[in-house]
Structure 1
C-alpha cells in the first residue's frame, strides 16, 4: 500500500520568518530583498491592506540583514535570494537592526497608547542590552540607554529614542543600523476612531523624524502600514522616503499571493480542482499591474478543508467601512449599490488620503476603501501629481460578504436581524411562499421607518435588499425589460430560486383605501408592461411580484407569484 507523503502544515497566523520557512508551507518572497538592494532607497514605505503578509516580510528582512551571534544564512540558502549571487549574499547578517511592530497598539485612549508605545520602545532597547556595557559608549550615553530600557524616560526621551538607539548601535558596531517599523499607522487609526488623533500624530512625527530624517546613523529604513498619512507631516521633510503603494508596480508581487503561487499551493494540497472557487472568493486584488490573492484567506481556506468563508472579516476591525456607511450621502449609497451588484465605476483616488478626510470630504471614501482592501482598481490612470483616476469594483465574494454584514449591522437598529435571517433561510430552502412572507415583513419595516418620499430612502432600500440577499441575487434597478423600466429586479444566481420584481409608487396624504389601490396598480403594471421578460428569458420559472405604495411612513404591499397567481396584501401605518 502506497503511503502519501505528509504535507507541510499551513502557516495560519505565523509571522515569524524562521518558523514559517522552516516548519510550514512557505511561499518564497525573498526576491523582495534583491529588488530593494538594486534600488537602495534610504527609507521605504510599503502600504497594503491588513493581513497581506507585511509583518512576515518585515521579519524576513530583519532575519536577512541583522547581525546575530549565530549564522542565520541557513534560512536563505535554499531561497531565491541566495541564487542571486555574492553581491546580495554579502549583505546577509551584516547590520544591527531596530525592529518595532505597532500592529497591536489598539488602545481606547491616548494615555494607554502612549504607555504601550513607550513599553514597546523599552523592550527594543532591552533587546540590544549589549549596549549597556559597550566600551565605546560614554557614561552619559549608558545612563540614557538604561533610562529608556527600564521605562523611566520622559516624553522627550521617547520621542528621541529611535535616533538615540541608531546612534548607540552605530558607535558600538561601526556600521549604521537598519530601522524596521511594522504597521506604523495602527495607533493613528485608533486615534481617529477614539478621539486622540492630534497627540498620537504629534508623538509619531517626532519619533519618526529623529530616526529617519537626515540621520547619518541610519543605513536603511523600512515601514509598513495601510495608509501613507503624508499630509500629517509625520514624514515632514523626509525627502528620502520611497512610497510603494498598491498602485505602484515595484514590489507588487511580494505582498499577497500571485495566481501561479496559488495554483502551486492548490496542487500541493491535492485541491487543484478548487482553483476557480479560490479565485471567486479571494482573488481580485490588483497591486500595480499584478493580480493578487488575499494570502490570509487562501491559507485559511486550505486549513478549513477547502470550504470557503469570509476569513478576512474576523482578522480586524471594519470600523472604516462602518463609518463610511453611517455618513454616506445619496451619491455614495448609490455607488455602493453598484458595487454590491458586481458593477464598477470611475472615481478619483487620492494616494495621500488621511483619516479626518472621511468627515470633511465625502469623495475620499473610495480612496480609503481602495487602500484598505475593500475595493480593487481594475485600472488606474495617473491624473496629476500622485493622484489617479481609477475604475473600481469589489474584489471578490469575500469582500461582498463583508459589505453585506456591515450593511445589515447598520440596519439592525431599524430592521431586526431576524427579518434578514428569515429571507436567507427561505432562499436556502427555496421556499417561495416563505420568501414572499419574509420579504413583505422586511419591506414593511424598512419603508415604515423611513420617509419614503426622498431619493435617499430608495437607495437605502436598494442597499438593504442587496445585503439581505446574501449573494444569492443580482439586484438591479431602473432597467428596461419588456415594455418599460422596472423599479427593482432580483435575478437569482441559481435558476431554481424565484425571481423577484418590485414596483414602487408614492402618493401624498393617501388614505388606506387609496394606498391599496395604488399598490394594486403597481402590481398590475408589472404584468401590463411584461417586466418579467428578462427573468423568463434567463429560465426563471417562478417569479414573486410586489406592488408597493407608500405615503409618508404608511405602506401598502400587494404581492403574487406567477405559480399560484394568488394575491396577498399587507399594510401598516
Structure 2
C-alpha cells in the first residue's frame, strides 16, 4: 500500500485489496476456518454492512483492549530473557530488533543495522508538511523528553497523510518503530540507534525550517524573482546547515552530498505548486543537479540548477559562475518540454555555511533557440 501510495495508484490498490481480503476471509467458508494477518499497520475494515467486518485486532499499544490485546505481544521480536542468554545484558522490558541482534552476533560490532532496512520516503514527505505544534513536539523528543498528548490512530489511511494530519503522522512513526511507548503510554524515541536516524532527518529533511521561509523562497524562485530568492536562500544556508556537516575537515566530498540533499529537500516542496522536480539526471552532455519543470497549464518557466563546492581558494562568485557556464556548455536545456517558454539557469556555489547564487533568464524563440534577457 505504501508503494501504491508513492506511485500514485493508492485508490486502485485499496479497492483491489478490499475485494481480495473480503473474498478470502469473509466468503470462503469451504476452504478456510481461521486466518491470522501479521503486519506493521492495521488494515481498514471494508465497506458497508457485511464486508470484511469480522476481524479481531490485537494492537500492542492497548494492553486492556477487549481483554485480549496482549495475547500475542510477546511473540514478535526478542524478549529480555532471550537477550540475556545471548549477551548477558541487564534486564529490560523492551523488545529487541531481530536483525540488529543477529548482525551484532555475526559481526561482533554494534551498529545502526535496523535503520538501513526500509525506505523513509513517506515519512520524510510527512515531516515536511507537519504542523508547527508537531515540530515543537519533535524538538522535545530529540531532547530526550516524551510526548503525552499524541494518540495512535486505530485505522490509518494514507490519504490522511495527504491532509497533513498530525495524528496520522504520529501513528505512522509508531508503527514504523521510530517511536515507542513508555510505561505511562507516552511516546518516546526508544534508543540511540533510532535517535541517530531522527537527527539525520533534521539535517536532510529540515522539518525544523519555518514553513513561511521556504514558501517565500520557493515563490520567488518559481516566479523568477532571482534577487529575492538569492538573498533568502543564502540566509537559509547560514541558519540551517551545520558546521559539523559541511565545515572544517567535513567540507570535502561528503559536503557535496549534504548540500545536494539539503537543496533537494527544499525544492521538493515545488510539487505542491504543480511542478515536477528531477534530481541528478542526464541531459545534453552531462548531468544537472536539479531541474524543476511545471506541469502543462501551470507555468511556462523551467529551472535548471547546478551546484559547485569551492576548492583551491577560489571565490564563491567565481565558482557560482562556473556552475552557470557549465549549464550552457553541457546544454542541460536539451529535451525540455514543448510547453516551456522560459528557462531560469542558476549556478550555486557553496563554501562551508556560505552560498552564492547567480543566474539568468532565457526566452525561447519561435525557431527554438534560447536568448538571454
* TM-score, normalised by the number of residues in structure 2: 0.52
The Cα shift of 1:244 comes to 2.0
Contact kept? 2:46, 2:53, Cα under 8 Å = no
Q: How does 1:438-457 map to 2 (within 5 A)?
A: none
C-alpha separation between the residues in 2 aligned to 1:234 and 1:319? 33
Q: Which of 53, 57, 70 is matched with 1:243 structurally?
A: 57
Q: Are positions 1:396 and 2:178 aligned together?
A: no
Identify unmatched segments of 5+ residues in structure 1: 1-187, 267-271, 284-289, 381-389, 427-433, 450-569
For residues 241 and 3 of structure 2, what CA distance do their matches in structure 1 show? 29
The counterpart of 1:301, out of the listed 95, 98, 104, is: 104
Counterpart pick for 1:421 among 234, 238, 245: 245
SS of 1:224's equivalent in the other structure is coil
1:329 aligns with 2:131: yes
Q: CA deviation at 1:220?
A: 1.8
Q: Counterpart in 1 of 2:80?
A: 259
1:209–1:235 contact (8 Å) kept in structure 2: no
Give the structure 1 partner of residue 282 of structure 2: none
Which residue in 1 is equivalent to 2:320?
Answer: none
Q: Say whether the 8 Å CA contact 2:128–2:206 is kept in structure 1.
A: no
Q: Deviations over 1:296-331 (max 9, x none)?
A: 1111122221x2221111111012321222112211
Q: Partner residue of 1:292?
A: 95
Structure 2 Cα separation of the partners of residues 324 and 422 of structure 1: 26
Q: Distance in 2 between matches of 1:209 and 1:225?
A: 17
C-alpha distance in structure 1 between counterparts of 2:105 and 2:248, whole Å: 26
Over aligned residue pairs, what C-alpha RMSD do you find?
A: 3.7
Measured after TM superposition, the shift of residue 236 of structure 1 is 6.6
> How far apart are the structure 1 equivalents of 2:248 and 2:56?
48
Quote the Cα distance in structure 2 between the aligned partners of 1:424 and 1:213.
Answer: 63
Query: Following superposition of structure 1 onto structure 2, how do residues 439-478 of structure 1 map, counting pairs within 5 Å?
Result: none
Change (3 A) 1:192 1:410: same
- RCO greater where, 1 or 2, for CA within 8 Å and sep 6 or more? 1
CA contact (8 A) 1:378 1:392 kept: yes
Secondary structure of the residue that 2:204 maps to in structure 1?
A: helix
Q: 2 CA distance for matches of 1:312 and 1:425?
A: 29
Matched, 1:369 2:190: no
Indicate conservation of the 8 Å contact 2:179/2:189, yes or no: yes
The aligned runs of 1:215-226 (5 Å cut-off) are 215-217=28-30, 218-226=32-40
Cα distance per residue 1:161-219 (max 9 Å; x no partner): xxxxxxxxxxxxxxxxxxxxxxxxxxx11111121100001111111111100421212
1:189 paired to 2:189: no
* Per-residue deviation, residues 122-164 of structure 1 (Å, max 9, x unmatched): xxxxxxxxxxxxxxxxxxxxxxxxxxxxxxxxxxxxxxxxxxx
Total equivalences in the alignment: 221
What residue is the counterpart of 1:410 in the other structure? 205
Q: Distance in 2 between matches of 1:396 and 1:405?
A: 15
Structure 2 distance, partners of 1:423, 1:243, is 51
- Residues 234, 242 of structure 1: alpha-carbon distance in 2 compared, 3 angstrom cutoff: farther
TM-score, normalising length from structure 1? 0.35
Q: 1:194 to 1:340 in 2, by over 3 A?
A: same
User: Aligned residue for 2:210?
Assistant: none
Return the alpha-carbon distance in structure 2 between the equivalents of residues 235 and 375 of structure 1.
Answer: 35
Partner Cα separation in structure 2 for residue 262 and residue 196 of structure 1: 42
Determine if contact 1:375/1:394 at 8 Å carries over to the other structure. yes
SS, match of residue 343 in structure 1? coil
Question: What is the distance in 1 between the residues matched to 2:123 and 2:170?
Answer: 10
Q: Which has the larger radius of gyration?
A: 1
- The 8 Å contact of residues 45 and 51 in structure 2, kept in 1 or not, is answered as no
Q: Deviations over 1:230-282 (max 9, x none)?
A: 1564997334322222223111111111110011111xxxxx3xx36xx9xxx
Q: Does 1:230 align with 2:54?
A: no
